[in-house]
Amino acid sequence: MATISKNWLTSFKLFFSKQRGGDVLLIILVMAMVLFGLLMVYSASYIFAEERTGDGYSFIRKQLFYALAGFGALFVTSRIPHQKWYTWAPIALGVVLSMLILVMIPGVGARVGGAQRWINLGLFRFQPAELAKIVGVMFVGRQLVRHQRDLHDFKKGVISPVALLLPLMVLLLFQPDFGSTALLAGTTFILMFIAGVRPLYLFGGLFGGLGAAAMLVITSPYRMARVMTFIDPWRDPAGKGFQVIQSMLGLHNGSLFGQGLGNGKEKLFFLPEAHNDFIFAVIGEELGFIGIAAVICAYIFFIYRGLRISWSALQERHDRFGFYLGCGISLLLGMQAFINMGVVMGLLPTKGLTLPFISYGGSALTLNLMAIGILYSISKANKGAFYEQE
């Protein structure tokens, strides 16, 4: 027993000695958010799981497994020098495109809730769209670095970063997954803006993209219904507007201090997707304004840490790829969080995007933690360079 304990202690020290120099606050923050998410998933899903599967612990058990897998992925990607992703980005993009094509094949792709977004792997389902968003910003960062001196040229500054993303976005729209497509497009726009692409090209593309988005909404009955529900959810309170109305009622019931953890009523079959897309409403009802304010502050602090890591990569080591990759990951997860919270509060139309680190969902949680490992790897390189200079 003493030998085993000594080996574990040695391994523990070795791990942290090799990880020194990274942004520990980032890891602590993300771990706290994941643990909080596990608590809220348990609270939001127990009654629903009991009714649906006969086992109230079925959802939290799966989420705990996904969290462990995610931290395993974080450990692996934190050990990989982030510069490797510059070389691997085109290969990763090809793999993701292949996965998105597989999703469309009957028998391989799984349809859930009217959308075919998952690959059925037997024991579990995998959602390639979650990987597509991360690989997308990775590839855009690579292209911006490759053509850094030619960003004022339309072909190299605009066409090169987005040309291979367009098939990816089209495949996402076919699932359909308008939310992920819009999120990836928005993150790409911001990365190109901070890289120095000419505003004339960017805003021309922005207006074109908004026009295309408007056409997609107008020509799609279910998207148009979502927009009309957003404008006036009370026009169909028992139908299209039911989920948003119940979400806002939950937030209202929470008041300042909430009903108490586990005491929410909306999760009792009133609020659909209570443990998933609308878990923020459960947080608001059970923990009140104090709870949702704490969650909002946590995401603001996450974005701050991510952008600080990215800026350090540029300032300390002139690492443009680390800068773009770090900004891309931080903005991708941060914007997704605020879009999700905006939907729950009735400030945005329903998008089907989860709350990062907190919502139930295997692919999302595992891959988001994998992305945090990449961000942590960037921070380790920054700190290493800083200490060397010191």
Closest by alpha carbon to 334, among 288, 295, 289? Answer: 295
Q: What is the pLDDT of residue 113?
A: 64
What pLDDT shows up at residue 20? 53
Residue 105 has pLDDT above 70, yes or no: yes
Kindly indicate the confidence band of residue 104, based on its pLDDT and cuts at 50, 70 and 90.
Answer: confident
Distance between first and last Cα of the chain: 43
Question: By three-state DSSP, how is residue 117 classified?
Answer: strand
pLDDT for residue 278 is more than 70: yes
Task: List 194's β-bridge partners, or say none.
Answer: none
Q: State the pLDDT at residue 157.
A: 72
Burial of 59 (0-12, 13-18, 19+ CB in 10 A): buried
- Mean pLDDT, residues 255-265: 89
- pLDDT higher than threshold 90 for residue 325: yes
The whole-model pTM stands at 0.88
> Is residue 303's pLDDT more than 90?
yes
Strand partners of residue 238: none
Which residues 6+ apart lie within 8 Å of 53 measured at CB? Answer: none
Which has more pLDDT, 195 or 108? 195
Could you tell me the sign of the dihedral formed by the alpha carbons of 330, 332, 333, 337, in that order?
A: positive
Q: Is the pLDDT of residue 102 over 50?
A: yes
Burial class for 39, CB neighbours closer than 10 Å (0-12, 13-18, 19+): middle
Question: How confident is the model over 160-185, as a mean pLDDT?
Answer: 85
Does residue 176 carry a pLDDT above 90? no
Domain-wise residue ranges, the chain: 27-41+55-76+233-385, 93-219
Confidence of residue 358 (pLDDT cuts 50, 70, 90): very high
For residues 317 and 280, which has the higher predicted lDDT (pLDDT)?
280
- Of 271, 300, 295, give the one whose Cα is nearest residue 283: 295
* Cis peptide leading into residue 199 (ω within 30°): no
Mean pLDDT of all residues in the chain?
85
The answer to whether residue 30 scores a pLDDT higher than 90 is: yes
Query: Distance between CA 129 and CA 166 in Å, rounded?
Result: 14
138 versus 106: the higher-pLDDT residue is 138
Q: What percent of the chain has pLDDT over 90?
A: 44
Residue-level pLDDT at 2: 46
